[in-house]
A = this chain, B = another copy of it.
């Protein structure tokens, strides 16, 4: 079995979320065909079957997929059958938005610590989560056994935070600061760049490119 393309992983997350809704609406014994799922998600049914085939056989010929079973399998593939411990680095607007995001619970992601450099914020406790100084990242991350760090700090501070995270032995970083971070190879880094998304749209609008 070949290594799945990176985008397949992203699509699995999409399938999962749809299946969760579908299950609530159609009950625990519902089934769904790749063609139906494809129509709902506006993608190619071959792609869905191919994506799933990288991880095993989850359907039944002539019937389709049992929704509950498929949901659980994808959940397992994506590592969502266990809890993950998060920290948020930077409690500005974006940090606050993520802190308030309700979807984390469903994915079994828990924010256990917040870091900021603003002395007015440090020491505060929000919904049971304490705001620490960025200097204490190595110590606190280690002590609280944080798995994933989310960088929502300004660009200027991002690399220094990433360095502290690297020293703390964290496993993965999701970086929202629009800079390329240098981190050790062992660390899984993923970037989300919002301005890039806007530029993509302005490109299409001004170029009037087809499709």
Residues of A within 8 A of B (CB): 3, 6, 9-10, 12-14, 16-18, 40-42, 77-80, 82, 84, 92-94, 96-101, 103-104, 107, 109, 147-148, 171-172, 174, 178, 180, 182, 188, 190, 192-207, 209
User: Quick one: given A94-B97, A192-B194, A193-B13, are A203 and B107 in contact (CB under 8 Å)?
Assistant: no
**B190 with A192: CB separation less than 8 A:** no
Q: Is the CB of A192 within 8 A of B198?
A: no
The answer on a CB contact under 8 Å between A40 and B180 is: yes
Stoichiometry, as copies per complex, reads 2
Contact check, B97 vs A195: say whether CB atoms are below 8 A apart: no
Shortest beta-carbon distance from A14 to chain B in Å: 7
**28 pairs, CB–CB < 8 Å, chain A vs chain B:** A3-B209, A9-B199, A13-B193, A13-B196, A13-B199, A14-B180, A14-B196, A17-B178, A18-B180, A77-B203, A77-B207, A79-B202, A84-B205, A92-B100, A93-B99, A94-B97, A94-B101, A96-B97, A107-B202, A109-B198, A148-B202, A171-B205, A172-B201, A174-B197, A174-B198, A190-B200, A192-B192, A192-B197
